[in-house]
Structure 1
Amino acid sequence: MASVVPIQTPNIAQNLDKNVLYLVGPNFWHVRGRFKILKLIDIETQMSIIKLHNGKFLIIDTVEMNDRLRQEIDLLTNDGRNIEAVIGTHPFHTVSFPAFYQTYPNAAYYGTPRHLRRLTEIPWRGNLNDRNIRKKWKPDIEMRIPAGAEFINPQPESSNHFVSVFVYHPISRTLHVDDTIMFTEKPSFLLKLFGYQNGIMAFHPSIKNSGLYPTSNAPYLFRDWMRKLLHDWPFENICCAHLGIKMGGAHADVTTLLNNAEPLFAKISEKNRKKYSEYEIPVDNHSNMNVSDNEYG
């Protein structure tokens, strides 16, 4: 563990090197990874590592590894022998899983329904749509899936990347979440051209179109789910795949984000009421699955 680099001050996400293991809090490490869109804009991706009470480790999401990161993970996990499980929390964050599996094939792998459908070369042990799997590592971590949004088969695959499994680590008071919530500490010049500002917490842009079910109550199902999460999970830090992490004060920022989104929820609800009055939330999978080249991490 000598090479593990601790994060010592809050709000330094813009200074975190890629493919380096950082200590966020007790028994919680984090890695920033690169993921470029349009071959120019690095919107980043993430991986977190959590030490369980039994001394084993959970890997939450994966990033593309270099030799340094692999060596750091090996030092932390006894050459991978102490990795109990690798968990994929976002349906479209799949790119790095095959290589990670080749490096650490003896761990148990768990993913979203889309992980299981798409990455068939990995012998998945379980599906995060199963609540028993989500409860498997309590009380070390808690996992929840947002209400009001499609998790099994988000459509259209090219843009609906809103939903992901939220993972909370009580000991470090850290929340790991992929696209649903985004945080930008100091966005690059190119990102500023797309409207991202300093120190901004935001919901994924797809919330305004395909992210939630097209029903009048979907925005409020999501809002109430978020309220319950904020009540139950007193997190202080948040690790967001895009575009960084917030050390300290994250719970207050997400609360403000949710409160400020009330007009947006009302607007989406009214739009859905007028446009999709007969839409019914699907109860099973659909035919338009596994479109290629829509991965986002």
Structure 2
Amino acid sequence: MAEEIVALENVFWNIRGDLRIGGVLNVGTQCSLVKLGDGRFVFLDSYTLKGDIRERIMALTDDGLAVEAVLNVHPFHTLHCAQMAEDFPAATFYGSTRHRKQVPQVAWAADTVESDAVTARYPELAFSLPDGIDYISDDESVHAGSLLVFHAASGALHVDDTFNVLPLPDIARKLLRIPRIAFHPKLKDALLDEPDAGARFCDWAGRIATEWSDTRTLCAAHSAISRFEDGAFSAALRATVAKARPGLTGSKA
């Protein structure tokens, strides 16, 4: 993996970042920059910008002054928040309750990122919390919960951990029968202690396949981005749901 910017429709930029485990294994991470209709910008997630990527982002955003807000949508993605707050001091920072506890030096907004107030503030973005799983798990190793964000103008879906993209050639994917979209490997550990939790998650993912069927690019942290032709995202996500449902619900079909 290498740091890069992927531009979508000149209104959405996905920044592929580095995240090294133990200083060696690079599992990658991401943030995205979205240009709103009135010329303002918002970030989805935080990342420390360096070198050419930083220069390009600053050039796009009037040296950062046009960045209105940073929406930190994954409660366990906190490593870069403090630096982001230094780089964009005029922006409003939204996060979960965990962000506030983990990075108290940031002046967090009173409204949490998953609140109705934030949803109303940014009508050009669609938000969705997965049903049936913990958004903030008590188990620090379970990161399946996140707030998904869809930007209709670019067809980009920004998602951390809940959905993954396995960067495999199509021929290998077909031979191994591996879906284009995968759920987080610890999804089952994130299920609520309720008998219908798995079914609720699968039903929610099915609704995403329908409501966000115009997704053309899936931007996933720690894995890759994936492009979709018309209707292909919905079909891919439904295939993933169908494969996962028996294991999540205990059903035979």
TM-score, length-scaled by structure 1: 0.76
CA distance in 1, matches of 2:46, 2:166: 20
Cα offset, 1:22, TM superposition: 2.0
CA distance in 2, matches of 1:94, 1:36: 14
CA distance in 1, matches of 2:58, 2:240: 38
CA distance in 1, matches of 2:238, 2:22: 32
Q: CA RMSD in A?
A: 2.2
Verify the 8 A CA contact 2:144 2:161 in the aligned structure 1: yes
Q: Match for residue 201 of structure 2?
A: 222
CA distance in 2, matches of 1:164, 1:25: 25
Matches within 5 A, 1:61-80: 61-80=45-64
CA distance in 2, matches of 1:114, 1:197: 37
Matches within 5 A, 1:117-136: 117-125=101-109, 126-136=111-121
Q: 2:5 aligns with which of 12, 21, 35?
A: 21
Q: Match for residue 181 of structure 1?
A: 163
**Which amino acid counterpart does residue 205 of structure 1 have in structure 2?**
P
Matches within 5 A, 1:86-165: 86-125=70-109, 126-138=111-123, 140-151=124-135, 153-157=136-140, 159-165=141-147
Unpaired stretches in structure 2, ≥5 consecutive residues = 170-175
Cα offset, 1:252, TM superposition: 2.6
For residue 154 of structure 1, give the secondary structure of its aligned residue in structure 2. coil
Matches within 5 A, 1:21-40: 21-40=5-24
**Which amino acid counterpart does residue 251 of structure 1 have in structure 2?**
S
Verify the 8 A CA contact 1:201 1:254 in the aligned structure 2: yes
Aligned residues between the structures:
241
Verify the 8 A CA contact 1:26 1:171 in the aligned structure 2: no
**Which amino acid counterpart does residue 211 of structure 1 have in structure 2?**
A
Cα offset, 1:200, TM superposition: 4.3
**Which amino acid counterpart does residue 217 of structure 1 have in structure 2?**
D
Q: Tell which has more relative contact order, 1 or 2 (C-alpha 8 A, sep 6+).
A: 1
Verify the 8 A CA contact 1:186 1:199 in the aligned structure 2: no
Cα offset, 1:168, TM superposition: 0.2
Cα offset, 1:202, TM superposition: 1.0
Q: 1:233 aligns with which of 187, 212, 230?
A: 212
**Which amino acid counterpart does residue 92 of structure 2 have in structure 1?**
A
TM-score, length-scaled by structure 2: 0.88
Q: 2:181 aligns with which of 201, 205, 222?
A: 201
Q: Match for residue 278 of structure 1?
A: none
